[in-house]
Structure 1
């Protein structure tokens, strides 16, 4: 007991306060950024719930507990699951934002509320279901309260396991999407996502152990690791621009409609046009800033001189103008897909344009406005894809 009580000396208080204050500071820094992405907003909420949970745990342990050796505290159960749900929302917003609907969030929030009631009610109506005094009581399976607490831990473990598998699955799909769609774009990597996932897995394991281990040494370990986790998450999360989400069932773009237009009577020309459009639709080579006419001709197994003449005749533009049109329409598609929640820097990074100046110039020339103006218009106006298609082709 003396060893545990002595934890709340100067060093113990410092180690408890530091990750709490750091979590709120990091969250404030993320929220203060007006150009933050939706996933960065969710990361800030992760840090807020984490800091709130640690503060609540500290208050109960320091001021509202008869013994510092108590385990299976309801406050730890409730805030740990709340934080895990916000973490789930963070990764969904990052890699599968189309799933993050109001119904989806209400489903998990409602489940958390029911779980909280399940945890709180027994202790409210019966003194037998109060937190257990010491880890040595874990073997007392003849006690109904102990069985109840162990059942609660098992429920949390099952949820953590499901959440970990789900996040790893959408990460795998998202990584495949990035490789297929942005292989030509420099600076886009998901290694930082894998680092944060493994970090959360470690924190989840430590969190489970926190519920049954109240020793002073373990508290120090947990708080030191928590401090490192907070700033690691902030470092990676604050430096990342938004990456467009996976379009699970991508709609055929306006280029398909071009296929349906009357084509030349020459079968070879018609076949070449279909091959060219399919190549652009599926491979998206225009995202490569270094794309050349020879590369496209080689992919289509044709002569680049013949391909150049074909493009000039069929589309009435040269090769590079055609490529720029594909790039701009792709950007327009991403803005629609993200419902305007994407910034110009991210769009330029993935557009395939070498320079920022060319990107803005071509976008305004084709779309009739700047990227930022178009993004703002999508936030207030209903999408009109048919108008866009008429402008481009």
Structure 2
């Protein structure tokens, strides 16, 4: 057992030398609390992955998967999301997915089924999509689509009206 431990320690030291192992201990030496600089880096990485890479469209996205992408552990990632976004991981992902779905519902013709839009937005089931959409917008996806069609028609008649106010 001690040989295995020595091997582990030597590999850790090698990672530290290469700079691939990053310490995230705060200034007081307490490893239970994340360093504010590291937390900001996590936040920026989450924003980049969500806004630029649109990783929320992956229906198999998980906290573990995102923490690997961001380069941190799940505890630090979860704490950073809670603090900086004011919600948990699941709610954050669903917010991004619903916003993306709103653009899809407003721009796709009625011939595109809502379940196809839900799947393209990263939801693994239609029921999860409907529940999240209604929770975050207050109306169902069908109602939202009809509202967007109605507003688009109004804009054709009165180009001065604001279809994006919803």
Shorter-normalised TM range: 0.5 to 0.7
The verdict on how the C-alpha distance between 1:342 and 1:368 changes in structure 2, with shifts beyond 3 A counting, is farther
Q: Which residue number in structure 1 is paired with residue 92 of structure 2? A: 322
Q: Deviations over 1:227-267 (max 9, x none)?
A: xxxxxxxxxxxxxxxxxxxxxxxxxxxxxxxxxxxxxxx33
* 1:305 corresponds to 2:75: yes
CA contact (8 A) 2:81 2:89 kept: yes
Q: CA RMSD in A?
A: 2.2
Aligned to 2:101: 331
Deviation at 1:339, TM superposition (A): 6.8
1:372 equivalent in alignment to 2:142: yes
- The 3 A distance-change label for structure 1 pair 340 and 313 is farther
In the TM superposition, what is the alpha-carbon distance from 1:269 to its structure 2 partner? 2.6
Kindly tell me the number of residue pairs found equivalent between the two proteins: 122
TM-score, reference length from structure 1? 0.29
Shift of 1:365: 0.7
- Is the 8 Å Cα contact of residues 56 and 96 (structure 2) preserved in structure 1? yes
- Is the 8 Å Cα contact of residues 275 and 300 (structure 1) preserved in structure 2? yes
Partner of 1:352: 122
Specify the SS of the correspondent of 1:270.
Answer: helix
**C-alpha distance in 1, partners of 2:163/2:77?**
34
1:358, CA displacement in angstroms? 1.1
Q: Residue 340 of structure 1: CA displacement?
A: 6.5
More helix by share: 1
The question of whether the paired residues in 2 share the 8 Å contact of 1:363 and 1:371 is answered with yes
Q: Where in structure 1 are there 5+ consecutive unaligned residues?
A: 1-265, 388-393
Name the residue aligned to 2:26: none
In the alignment, structure 1 residue 362 sits paired with structure 2 residue 132 = yes
TM-score (norm 2): 0.65
Residues 318, 282 of structure 1: alpha-carbon distance in 2 compared, 3 angstrom cutoff: same
> 2 CA distance for matches of 1:342 and 1:384?
21
Q: Distance in 2 between matches of 1:300 and 1:272?
A: 6
Structure 2 alignment gaps of length 5 or more: 1-35, 152-161
Provide the C-alpha distance between the structure 2 equivalents of 1:373 and 1:281, rounded to a whole number of angstroms.
26
Residues 360, 268 of structure 1: alpha-carbon distance in 2 compared, 3 angstrom cutoff: same
Bigger Rg, which one: 1
Aligned equivalent of 2:37: 267
